[in-house]
Chain A
Amino acid sequence: MTKTILQQTLLFFAFVFLQVCCFNRVHIFGYATPIVYSYFILKLPVKLNRNYVILIAAAMGFIIDIFCSTPGLNMLSMVFVGFVRYWLIKLFIPKDMTDDGIPSFETFGMPLFMRYATIAVIFHIALLLIFETLSLLNPLMLFAHITGSAILTALLIFAFEKIHLPA
């Protein structure tokens, strides 16, 4: 258990680092930016206390905000993601899964995990971009941004999962 906590902490900062230094600089066609750090929250153990999940999500958002100098923006969307994760897991968890595993292709099965991750990612990115613009002045542009980023992020997460699977 202690090992996993250490691992998780390292992973936490690895995700922050990756997001801030790498993914945030990607703007494919000016529309799609991968925002993958919510993947860390998705991969927390199923049985982890909801309060911890919310706190970890908020902390992660806050640290990313500090790097991006947008205080509150990522934090706000991450608080939402941490909050709804419980219901998402409840919705998609297979009936026969009882141990305190980690959501993945292996434990959830590919279709269920894909749905779980996609909904969470769309939710997160939609909130993030809506709070960033805080207006519906240009709804088409906003929609294109959300769709592009969500698709790219989901694809990246599936790719991560696929690589992890054999290990």
Chain B
Amino acid sequence: MKNLFRFLTKNAHWLLFIGLLALSSWLLVHYNDFQRSRFMSASQEITGRVYAVSGAIDSYIGLKNENTALMQRIALLEQEILQYRSRIENLQEYIQINDSARYHPSQWRYITARILYNQVLLTKNYLILNKGSNDGVKAGMGVISSEGTVVGQVMRGGVSPHFSRVIPLLNPDSKPSCKILSSDFRGILVWDGKDSRYSYLNDLPGHTIFNTGDTIVTTGASAIFPEGVPIGVVADSFNNKNNGYNSLKIKLFTDFNTLKEVFIVEYNLKDEQEALEQGNYGEGGTE
């Protein structure tokens, strides 16, 4: 105790120095806007670096789950391929397939991409992907999750050489046309900006046949998505008596909170189809 006291008195100038230093630094940071902003930005830089490292570790840990999901998906697809292959073999015995049909190339091209930035909390959300025009991404292309469910559409004017901006289903501007798988009734999916798990299928005719739990898929009419990409299931329904249209509450398949890897899909014949829809195919010299 005596030694401690002696030590303290002997080194009082150090304590005094550190104490006054702390006091003046506090005064400086607390009462001066400029120094405070410098302090804040410096500390933000440091915390940002820490978060980047921890985020990298997090995504590394998350790889395991991601991998299992991908493996499951691959297994499922393999299974499907086998099914189709055996079906084709069966069919070949009955039908003479001509060569042009057999070697018809796939009209859909897939580009893999990773999500760099993901919003779910706002009313108008956007995603940023790590692929851009250099990788063949164009405005208006569809985006599908690694589980094969609908995510959204590449925004018009939202493609830079290395990045692209996506309007996900969680944005009222995203209005994909979709249908009830079992009955083929069509409507337009619109998000109400509230719950990231649910969206609403509007403009269904009053006589629509549906059950809770029915799957909703894309129509493939607008050449953004292939036909039959799953979107969600019917969770609830509202009957709008004023205009005779039905509204369905849809539970989305895609979990936007955990989304990491996506596919951007391109329809190779989109230009051709659009030209035909506008009625100038072969007339305006486009082809």
Contacts of A50 in B (CB 8 A): 13
**Interface membership of A54, Cβ < 8 A:** yes
Contacts of B25 in A (CB 8 A): 72, 76
**Interface membership of A79, Cβ < 8 A:** yes
Is B20 a contact partner of A54 (Cβ separation < 8 A)? yes
Contacts of A86 in B (CB 8 A): 13
Q: Within the assembled complex, what's the spacing in Å between the Cα atoms of A82 and B26? A: 19
Shortest distance in angstroms between A48's beta carbon and chain B's nearest beta carbon?
12
Shortest distance in angstroms between B44's beta carbon and chain A's nearest beta carbon?
14
- A75-B39 CB under 8 A given contacts A50-B13, A51-B13, A131-B28: no
Q: Within the assembled complex, what's the spacing in Å between the Cα atoms of A156 and B171? A: 68
Q: Within the assembled complex, what's the spacing in Å between the Cα atoms of A56 and B66? A: 64
Contacts of B30 in A (CB 8 A): 71-72
- Contact pick for A72, options B17, B28, B38, CB 8 Å: B28
Is A58 a contact partner of B28 (Cβ separation < 8 A)? no
Contacts of A80 in B (CB 8 A): 21
Q: Within the assembled complex, what's the spacing in Å between the Cα atoms of A62 and B35? A: 17
- Contact pick for A73, options B12, B21, B28, CB 8 Å: B28
Is B27 a contact partner of A55 (Cβ separation < 8 A)? no
Q: Within the assembled complex, what's the spacing in Å between the Cα atoms of A86 and B11? A: 13
Is A75 a contact partner of B13 (Cβ separation < 8 A)? no
Is A72 a contact partner of B24 (Cβ separation < 8 A)? yes
Is B17 a contact partner of A83 (Cβ separation < 8 A)? yes
A50: nearest chain-B partner, CB-CB: B13
- Contact pick for B24, options A51, A55, A61, A135, CB 8 Å: A61
**Interface membership of A70, Cβ < 8 A:** yes
Q: Within the assembled complex, what's the spacing in Å between the Cα atoms of A81 and B17? A: 10
What interface size band does chain B fall in? 20 to 34
Is B38 a contact partner of A79 (Cβ separation < 8 A)? no
What interface size band does chain A fall in? 20 to 34
Interface flags for A76-102 (1: CB within 8 Å of B; 0: not) read 100110110010000000000000000
- A75-B32 CB under 8 A given contacts A51-B16, A135-B38: no
Contacts of B29 in A (CB 8 A): 72
- A71-B27 CB under 8 A given contacts A76-B21, A135-B38: yes
Contacts of A165 in B (CB 8 A): none
Contacts of B17 in A (CB 8 A): 54, 79, 82-83
**Interface membership of B5, Cβ < 8 A:** no
Q: Within the assembled complex, what's the spacing in Å between the Cα atoms of A86 and B13? A: 10
- A76-B28 CB under 8 A given contacts A131-B35, A134-B35, A134-B39: yes
Q: Within the assembled complex, what's the spacing in Å between the Cα atoms of A79 and B30? A: 18
Question: From residue 1 to 59 of chain B, which have CB atoms closer than 8 A to chain A?
Answer: 12-13, 16-17, 20-21, 23-32, 34-35, 38-39
Contacts of B32 in A (CB 8 A): 70-73
Contacts of B28 in A (CB 8 A): 70-73, 75-76, 131
Shortest distance in angstroms between B113's beta carbon and chain A's nearest beta carbon?
37
A84: nearest chain-B partner, CB-CB: B17
Question: From residue 14 to 61 of chain A, which have CB atoms closer than 8 A to chain B?
Answer: 50-51, 54-55, 58, 61
Interface centre among B23, B24, B25, B30 (most CB of A within 10 A): B24
Is A79 a contact partner of B13 (Cβ separation < 8 A)? no
* A–B complex contacts, Cβ < 8 Å, 22 sampled: A50-B13, A51-B13, A51-B16, A58-B20, A70-B28, A71-B31, A71-B32, A72-B25, A72-B28, A72-B31, A72-B32, A73-B28, A73-B35, A75-B27, A76-B21, A79-B24, A83-B17, A86-B13, A134-B34, A134-B35, A134-B38, A134-B39
A-B residue pairs, 8 tightest by C-beta? A72-B27, A72-B28, A76-B24, A75-B24, A134-B38, A71-B31, A71-B27, A50-B13
